[in-house]
Amino acid sequence: MALPAFNLPPAVSLVEVGPRDGLQNESAVLDSQTRCQFARKLAACGLKRIEAGAFVHPRRVPQMADSDQVLRGLAQDTGVSWSVLVPNRQGLDAAIAAGAREIAVFAAASETFSQHNIHCGIAESIERFRDVVEPAVAEGLEVRGYVSCVMGCPYEGPVDPQTVTRVCTQLIDLGCYQISLGDTIGVGAPLQTRKLIDRLLSLVPAGQLAVHFHDTYGQALANILAALQAGITTIDSSVAGLGGCPYARGASGNVATEDVVYMLNGLGIEHGVDLEKLIEAGRDICKILDRPVMSKVSLASIRTPDPNPQSGSD
Ligand code: HMG
Ligand code: MG
């Protein structure tokens, strides 16, 4: 049971972005079979919402090429919502042909980032997404929305919270069931997080918001705790702390799922994920990518065999 003093939710939903955000910035480009095996390993840990790929231009993000094959490869794996990023109608048509049941559109709260990332400004991106979200919803797909740069932009610096609010409500009005707030370059700190979420909660129910922290400045877990205390119950994370955006140079990976799970265990919040299996999945993919694990919990559990902390309920 969660500590009443912390005013925390009893359970949360984790969105694993390792096979998409985690792989999109790696120098190694993995084939679709290896990506499917990675995604399945994550599902075997108990993760129920997994971003499997992106239907973007393969020259812009070669790591996400063949996402159609990944999605087709995962078609038999039921019990998991496999989501994919879709930037425009061309991406939607390809995603539907590959069997997508859930997609995510991705806007930004910074004009310059939006131009670099998807080659159009914010207002035009919303019009493009209208052409994605409406037909997707009509086809019975679930559509999630991202807003990047909610805490700061790699090109413009500080971002006006009013812009974040505007873009979030525009995406919800289009038909997105949930908006994930992306701290793309990991610059946010807990007070800023709390203020932004409180502002959004005056317009949007907590269930329609998620948080997506990159850990560049080591603030991600503190920000997640602030978000939980504000009433947020959906957290994006990436196994082994993989991740980054090719259009946000210098930004680090996402908060590691292992570290989020460890913190949730310590807070007595349910999440449904097996931490030991998750640590193994993170180590395995890092071996394949020939890169170090960034999860502190994974690194610490090399020294301490039992990674499960005591629940914080007493
Ligand atoms: P564009 O240049 O505006 O597109 O790209 P266009 O309509 O002018 O077409 C130009 C070319 O793109 C044509 O091909 C189209 O066929 C092709 P060409 O004739 O040159 O060979 N094209 C496509 N190809 C494949 N799939 C498509 C597609 N659409 C057009 N869907 C586009 C627009 C968005 C496609 C491009 O700019 C792109 O691929 N950008 C990459 C965006 C990306 O993946 N960014 C990283 C993910 S976002 C992120 O990481 C942030 C997040 O994690 C949250 C956070 O942390 O903040 C979500
Ligand atoms: Mg991201």
Supply the DSSP string of 238-257, one letter for each residue.
Answer: BGGG----TTSTT---BPBH
Backbone dihedral angles phi then psi of residue 155, each to the nearest 5 degrees: -105, -35
Please tell me the predicted confidence (pLDDT) of residue 1: 54
Alpha carbon of residue 48 to chain centroid: 13
For β-strands 142-148 and 209-213, DSSP reports them as unpaired
Instruction: Please state the atom number of ligand 1 nearest to the C-alpha of residue 108.
Output: 57
Report the Cα–Cα distance between both ends of the chain, in Å, rounded.
9
Alpha helices in the chain (DSSP H): 23-24, 32-44, 67-73, 89-97, 111-118, 122-138, 161-174, 190-201, 220-230, 257-267, 275-289, 296-300
**Does the Cβ of 244 fall within 6 Å of ligand 1?**
no
Taking the centre of ligand 1 as the mean of its atom positions, its distance from the CA of residue 56, in whole angstroms, is 4
Model pLDDT, residue 248: 86
Which of 20, 56, 184 to probe ligand 1 with, by most ligand atoms within 8 A of CB? 56
Residue 249: per-residue pLDDT: 83
CA of 83 to the centre of ligand 1 (A): 17
Distances (CA, A) of 31 to 28, 233, 243: 10, 33, 17
List 178's β-bridge partners, or say none.
144
Give the pLDDT confidence score for residue 312 in this predicted structure: 45
Amino acid residing at 102:
E
Q: Which ligand is nearest to the CA of 94?
A: 1
The three-state secondary structure class of 204 is coil
pLDDT at 262: 98
Residue 2: per-residue pLDDT: 52
Identify the pLDDT of residue 128.
Answer: 98
> Can you tell me the distance from the alpha carbon of 229 to that of 12, in angstroms, rounded to the nearest whole number?
12
Q: Label residue 83 left, alpha or beta by phi (over 0 means left) and psi (-120 to 50 means alpha).
A: beta
- Which ligand is the nearest neighbour of the Cα of 254? 2
For residues 177-191, one letter each, b for 16 or more C-beta atoms within 10 angstroms of the residue's C-beta and e for the rest, the string is ebbbbbbbbbbbebe
Q: Kindly give the distance from the C-alpha atom of residue 300 to the centroid of ligand 2, in angstroms, as a whole number.
A: 25
Q: Is 89 a pocket residue for ligand 1 (Cβ < 6 Å)?
A: no
Give the number of the atom of ligand 1 that is nearest the alpha carbon of residue 180: 54
Ligand 1 pocket, 90 CB below 6 A?
yes
* pLDDT number for residue 314: 46
245 counts as catalytic: yes
- Give residue 308's pLDDT: 59
Calpha distance 39→43 (Å, rounded)? 6
pLDDT, mean of each 10-residue run, the chain (314 residues) = 72 98 96 98 98 98 98 93 98 98 98 98 98 98 98 97 98 98 98 98 98 97 98 98 88 96 98 98 98 97 62 46
Closest CA relative to residue 130, chosen from 120, 83, 156, 160:
120
- What span, in angstroms and rounded, lies between the C-alpha atoms of 7 and 3? 7
Residue nearest to atom 14 of ligand 1 (CA): 57
User: What's the confidence (pLDDT) of residue 245?
Assistant: 85
Contact between 209 and 178 under an 8 Å Cβ cutoff? The reply is yes
The pLDDT score that the predictor gives to residue 57 is: 98
| Closest C-alpha residue for ligand 1 atom 53 | 21
pLDDT, residue 250, reads 80
Looking at all shown ligands, the one closest to residue 210's CA atom is: 1
**87 C-alpha to center of ligand 1: Å?**
6
CA atoms of 66 and 87, how far apart (whole Å): 16
Identify which of 21, 25, 55, 57 to mutate to test ligand 1's pocket (most ligand atoms within 8 A of the CB).
57
Amino acid 302: pLDDT: 76
Calpha distance 172→186 (Å, rounded): 24
Residue at 170: amino acid letter: Q
129 lines ligand 1 (CB under 6 A): no
Nearest one of 158, 157, 179 to 169, comparing CA atoms: 179
Determine which residue's CA is closest to atom 24 belonging to ligand 1.
57
Q: Is the dihedral of CA 242, 16, 39, 56 positive or negative?
A: negative
**pLDDT recorded at residue 277:** 98
> Is residue 43 within 6 Å of ligand 1 at its C-beta?
no
